[in-house]
Structure 1
Amino acid sequence: MNISFIAHDRKKDDMVQFVTAYEQVLKEHTLFSTGTTGERIMEATSLSIHRFQSGPLGGDQQIGAKIAENEMDLVVFFKDPLAAQPHEPDITALIRLCDVYSIPLATNMATAEILLRGLQRGDFKWREIVKGNMEEGRQ
């Protein structure tokens, strides 16, 4: 599974704690992240992460492109709901793409934990079926 991590500045510590707690589950998957969030995760864990640009420099859009191409299976995006973000339209577009393409999206630690526990149980096998159907439709 391809999994992306994004965290606003005041949520990066939470993201690092979360990923550290689920490192054993996540090491089985291909991981992506926006720039600084990915750097922080790699410093705290042994995980390898493909890093895109930072969010304000286009990282959210790069992850959105992966979603639109059906190359992302899960997004964990710890948003800071109490701070205005200069790239709010990009954030809204990313969330919209997750909805359009039925990509599971967690915007807080509680939802992220439920999704990761589901991933651990094998509840995401349906993504393989969706990917296969989309590939057939493109031919």
Structure 2
Amino acid sequence: MARVRMQNVKNIVLIAHDSRKKDLLEWVEYNRDVLKEHHLFATGTTGALLAKRTELAVTRFKSGPLGGDQQVGAQISEGVLDILIFFWDPLEPQPHDPDVKALLRIAVLYNLPTACNRATADFLVASPLFHGQYDRLLEDFSATRDEFVRGFEP
């Protein structure tokens, strides 16, 4: 298995659907002292709201429906991001639902610590593992890829 080392300072991406933005903002304000020690990223509107309301530095991707979720997924697959905090609304259909599903799939595929609600996010940042280096294990999918390729060989 491959390993990805998460450093003491984490790259944390924060995303919230419109109906959950208030919850995420409250959570970030409550955890401001912990989060200010890390690099924060967010999708469009969420990032603008976070930066304005908390005065924390937030690197912004595009809004989710405009490709932001895909940008985040790409950064996860490249090993740039360490933690995903994604307060999504399970009761409200989104115009970019396929992108949301793809993002969650990539987070699981790359064994990224992911919180989709306040309780899980609280547990994540309260964990002793959050405050130091951590080696994330990544499954080696080369055998699966090679088998798939062999299926196309003459």
Per the normalisation by structure 1, the TM-score is: 0.87
> Does 1:16 find its partner at 2:25?
yes
1:63 to 55, 72, 92: 72
Give the number of aligned pairs. 129
Match of 2:36 in 1: 27
- Deviation of 1:125 after TM superposition, in Å, equals 2.1
Amino acid at match of 2:13: S
CA RMSD of aligned residues (A): 1.7
- Deviation of 1:116 after TM superposition, in Å, equals 1.1
Partner Cα separation in structure 2 for residue 122 and residue 102 of structure 1: 15
Cα offsets for 1:94-116 (capped at 9, x unmatched): 10111111001111111111111
Partner Cα separation in structure 1 for residue 52 and residue 29 of structure 2: 11
Partner Cα separation in structure 1 for residue 108 and residue 53 of structure 2: 31
- Deviation of 1:43 after TM superposition, in Å, equals 1.3
Runs of 4+ more than 4 Å apart: none
- Deviation of 1:46 after TM superposition, in Å, equals 2.1
> Does 1:75 find its partner at 2:84?
yes
Match of 2:115 in 1: 106
Match of 2:48 in 1: 39
Partner Cα separation in structure 1 for residue 129 and residue 114 of structure 2: 17
Unmatched 5+ stretches in structure 1: 132-139
Per the normalisation by structure 2, the TM-score is: 0.79
Query: Higher Cα Rg: structure 1 or 2?
Result: 2
| 8 Å contact kept, 2:111–2:137 | no
More helix by share: 1
Match of 2:134 in 1: 126
Which has the bigger relative contact order, CA under 8 A and spacing at least 6? 2
More strand by share: 2
- Deviation of 1:130 after TM superposition, in Å, equals 5.6
Cα offsets for 1:27-86 (capped at 9, x unmatched): 111110001001111111121000110000011011101100011100000011110011
